[in-house]
A = this chain, B = another copy of it.
Amino acid sequence: MALFNAERPRDAGHPGTPPKVLIIGCGFAGLAAARKLRSAPVELTVLDRTNHHLFQPLLYQVATAGLAGPDISAPIRHLLRRQPNATTLLGEAVSIDPSRREVQLADGKRLAYDHLVLAAGSTHSYFGHDDWAEFAPGLKTLHDAYEIRRRIVAAFESAEKEDNDLERQAWLNFVVIGGGPTGVEMAGTLAEIARRTLPGEFRRIDPASSRVMLIEGGPALLSAMPRELSQSAQRQLADLGVEVHTSVRVTRVDAEGVELSFPDGAVQHIRSQCVIWAAGVSAVPLGTQLARATGLQTDRGGRLQVLPDLSLPGHPEISVIGDLAFARSQLRGHADRDVPGVAPAAKQMGELAARNILRRLASQPAQAFRYRDQGTLATIGRNSAVVDLRTPLGRVKFSGRPAWLFWVFAHVWFLIGFRNRITVLSEWSWAYWTNQRYARVVSDIEADTALRSPVASQSSTVQL
């Protein structure tokens, strides 16, 4: 099949033919790169597997029915509509040919590039247990969020219909695997749903009798945070009624539930039809393919090791950014440190990759990446959060209600570019005062099949 974006100029510097820049993936990293190239004399193509950019830090709110999907996402081509040099394409890159400077799409089309910005992100990692995926969905896409929402709703509905006491409790067991920010947010919100949102709506069960378990393999929750905040998070979760288990390994996940291995050697089996995987991420397969094609190595998580300027060794025309990059940043006055897989880092990488393309076009040397760490924050529930802020004046740590207010402010602020900032604020104000969650609506619980046979319905979802 012919090249989709016509013949590329053999000589990228040929006058009159702007160089082709291809960005694969339009998450925080890819979008930042695209926006930075707004007025650049390049022919920009932005390729994504979905039609929308997603504000991922709020995805757990979609999964727990606090927000609708469109509240936290916007069509990519809408975000780039005022950027005449940018073409948005919906499609999936399956392989990169660095020698021909071409990308192959799943539909057979090929895209040429002079500069490639690879920002294809990460996916769930089940640490070699891919068969766990259907029983414990992760949370990366809107599709994931809707599936988790469906399971949460189906669990309470099924419990209400269940005659057998043991079976009923099994429906009311919720297990969140992984004690990072997503796991903490999911567990805290599930506990709030059970204790604050649903009571009064059921006649045969007491939703507050639900068990919400948060399982972390390491010794502490939120391991990237200072010890005191991690401990505070654990206390705040306990106050909400979440059972937190640290240093506990998950040894099996199946249609019945999960098997846990405790540090004292004890093994416990927890029945649950609603298990959520927030434990591991791994770079997308496209990274592995590119590593093979370039003879470079990936780290254990499948990420590509990049040079300080975020380009691939031997391939200055390829930048790898976001969760797919294993980058190190020199900190002023500190030793080098790994760049964490968080949204601000992704945005900063995207901006630098774009700047380096512009510098290369101007025959200037590329710059090295310096991560400006502004700190981290995680929310737990209403009035519960932890914040570890790095300001020019030093580090500020706080938790509880002030941290939660700061979290709300920061997240609504960063919904910039989405039209729904006011809507989200109004949703949240309402949710705060009423404890309600307006998106507790699922479209595809088709009568009883979803309830009786979660496994069967899961696999049909996977087919889709």
Contacts and interface: CB of A to CB of B under 8 A. Distances in A.
A71 to B, nearest CB: 7
A51 B157 contact: yes
Interface in A80-99: 80-82, 86-92
A264 to B, nearest CB: 41
Contacts of A82: 200
A39 interface: no
A430 interface: yes
A442 B201 contact: no
A153 to B, nearest CB: 6
A143 interface: yes
Interface residues of A, number: 73
Given A2-B163, A70-B438, A49 B460 contact: no
Contact of A427 (B107, B423, B451): B423
B446 A464 contact: yes
Contacts of A91: 161, 447-448, 451
Interface in A101-146: 105-107, 109, 141-143, 145-146
A245 interface: no
Given A51-B157, A68-B70, A70-B439, A447 B201 contact: no
A160 B201 CA distance: 47
Contacts of A439: 68-70
Given A78-B436, A200-B81, A448-B92, A141 B443 contact: yes
A223 interface: no
A87 B160 CA distance: 9
A96 to B, nearest CB: 16
The 9 closest A-B pairs by CB, nearest first: A92-B447, A68-B68, A142-B443, A70-B439, A107-B448, A90-B157, A143-B443, A87-B203, A77-B201
Interface of A: 2, 4, 49-52, 65, 68-71, 73-75, 77-78, 80-82, 86-92, 105-107, 109, 141-143, 145-146, 153, 157, 160-161, 163, 200-204, 419-420, 422-423, 426-427, 430, 434, 436, 438-449, 451-452, 457, 460-461, 463-464
23 contacts: A2-B163, A51-B440, A52-B440, A69-B441, A70-B441, A75-B201, A77-B202, A78-B440, A81-B201, A88-B203, A90-B445, A92-B447, A92-B448, A106-B447, A107-B161, A109-B161, A143-B444, A419-B436, A423-B438, A426-B426, A446-B464, A460-B460, A460-B464
Given A52-B441, A89-B161, A107-B451, 5 more contacts: A51-B157, A69-B439, A80-B201, A107-B448, A419-B436
